[in-house]
Amino acid sequence: MLQRAKAAYLGLAVGDALGATTEFMTPNEIRAKYKIHRKIIGGGWLYLKPGQVTDDTQMSLAIGRALLSAKRWDLAGIADQFLVWMKSKPIDIGSTCRRGIRNYMLTGQLETPYNDGDAGNGAAMRMAPVALFSLGDEKVMERYALEQAHLTHNHPFSDAACLTVGKMVQRALLGANRFELHELTRDLVDHHGNFRFNKYSGNATAYVVDTLQTVFHYLFSTASFEECLIGVVNQGGDADTTGAIAGMIAGGFYGLDDIPNRWLKKLNREVRAEVEAQALHLVRLSPWAARNLYAQS
Ligand code: MN
Ligand code: MN
């Protein structure tokens, strides 16, 4: 389980670092430049170093830092870590995230008001640490998912996406097969038909509906972590974030051995070390660990 948890969190970081190269490109532009983009080489519109990660991983690490320092769910601690991160002048920050963190800075409120424009993927992209910390109790995960989401994003599509991504990561870690994961997407589509992805349009934007359609399309039409991630990032658009979300689910599902070593080796060393350490410590604080690791005596 601890290895799988690492794989989910590393999958997120690898997807972010790989996809950042093709963020905001079209599939045709990607094909013209790389044929198939399959290496962690940095670059992209942010001019990254190879292996450098962006806001998707950085905001996830901010959540993890807050939880590991409090050793309990600490929403104000997460908001504070977001603020520390925003003040560190990150290389990129989504406009909805910036507005939400500013709202917290100015008012101290831990929930941003409902906003029609909040259906971006910025809350769903940081679900990995939440899923690990609440592993073994889906109801608790749901509450944490929405609380952390509402720091910056308050929209039913974002909410639904966070819940589905959180469940998929947790169920993948607990050994679900692809049919069981697919069933979770059907629950989502039953409530929000716009997430339907059986006729994939090719839109991979930051609109969370497009984002999850892209992730699901490649997750369920491929047979390895590598194939899934290559499919997603060559779709362009918000490629680092579709990469991050696909990476956390596929990482948890396929496990550490299925993440190409050449990608892990390229990942920024400090980031990789913190991701691995957080994955272990978050799971050790989870309800799953209370039942399975410390259940003797
Ligand atoms: Mn990003
Ligand atoms: Mn992005």
CA of 17, nearest ligand number: 1
- Going from the Cα of 158 to the center of ligand 2, the distance in angstroms, rounded, reads 15
Q: How far is the CA of 287 from the centre of ligand 1 (A)?
A: 30
Distance between Cα 11 and ligand 2 center (Å): 15
CB 288 within 8 A of CB 136: yes
Q: How does DSSP classify residue 91?
A: S
Please report, for residues 3, 21, 45, 147, 223, the alpha-carbon distance to residue 231 in angstroms, rounded to integers and kept in the order given. 25, 14, 20, 31, 11
Decide if 148 contacts 81 (C-beta within 8 A): no
Centre of ligand 1 to C-alpha 55, Å, is 4
Ion ligand 1: residues, Cβ under 5 Å:
54-56, 240
Beta strands in the chain (DSSP E): none
The ligand whose atoms approach the alpha carbon of 48 most closely is: 1
**18 Cα: distance to centroid of ligand 2 (angstroms):** 11
Residue 17 CA to ligand 1 centre (angstroms): 9
**Rounded (10°) angle between helices 239-254 and 2-19:** 160
Q: Which ligand is nearest to the CA of 60?
A: 1
The ligand minimizing its distance to the Cα of 24 is: 2
Distance 107 CA to ligand 1 centre (A): 26
Closest by Cα among 248, 92, 30 to 39: 30
Per-residue pLDDT of the chain (297 residues; tens, 9 = 90+): 999 999 999 999 999 999 999 999 999 999 999 999 999 999 999 999 999 999 999 999 999 999 999 999 999 999 999 999 999 999 999 999 999 999 999 999 999 999 999 999 999 999 999 999 999 999 999 999 999 999 999 999 999 999 999 999 999 999 999 999 999 999 999 999 999 999 999 999 999 999 999 999 999 999 999 999 999 999 999 999 999 999 999 999 999 999 999 999 999 999 999 999 999 999 999 999 999 988 764
Give residue 16 CA to ligand 1 midpoint distance, Å.
7
